[in-house]
Amino acid sequence: MKMTLTIAAAGLFLSFAAAAQEPCFEDALLDHLAGNWVMTGTIAGAESTHDIAVEWVLGHQYLRIREVSREKTDGGGPLYEAIVFLGWDQPSGRYACLWLDSTGGGGLSPQAIGYAEPDEDDLAFVFDAGNGEIFLTTFRYIMKDDSWEWLMDTESGGKRAPFARVSLTRQ
């Protein structure tokens, strides 16, 4: 009897868990970003090359971007690394982006989450530092050659300055 109740409880739990799972997040624009890329261009005034691997994760709810620079530190590690998650914020009707990188340990804060309004070919994320400064990161899909541009700018006191201009081409 005890075994039957345990099996019934486990079955009930699993059925509730399955029913509570969100359906896959389907997004044609983000599907174009999945794959392996080489990123080249200028970041903070210096030429740079990064390897980018992008895949759907966690039940196809998030697109994970793994970015690693080819430039090395004195210790031989990558000069820059990032793990970025893109997804959909249902309550606000916007894309959300969590950017975690090797420039500091403050990534798990509200300032590390940017939001972008839906657009046909652009994802223009705004990261609000909360002190009057914002960081803008636009992912722009170029359909004619199946490539991407990433445009990154800082804005303070109403003045915008370019931070990065890079292009992604498929490996």
Beta strands 46-57 and 62-69 are antiparallel
Q: How far is residue 111's CA from residue 107's CA, in Å, rounded to a whole number? A: 8
Residue range of the domain that includes 42: 24-170
**Does the pLDDT value for residue 35 go beyond 60?**
yes
Task: Tell whether the torsion through CA atoms of 101, 107, 111 and 115 is positive or negative.
Answer: positive
Whether 5 is in a domain gets the answer no
**Does the pLDDT value for residue 137 go beyond 60?**
yes
Tell me if 165 sits within 8 A of 41, measured CB to CB.
yes
Note the pLDDT of residue 13.
45
pLDDT-derived band at 14, boundaries 50, 70, 90: very low
Structural domains in the chain (count): 1
Note the pLDDT of residue 107.
66
Whether 11 is in a domain gets the answer no
Whether 8 is in a domain gets the answer no
Whether 85 is in a domain gets the answer yes
Whether 17 is in a domain gets the answer no
Whether 56 is in a domain gets the answer yes
Q: Tokens in use for 139?
A: 């992912």
Q: Tokens in use for 14?
A: 């699993």
Beta strands 159-170 and 147-156 are antiparallel
Q: What CATH number does the domain containing 164 carry? A: 2.40.128.20
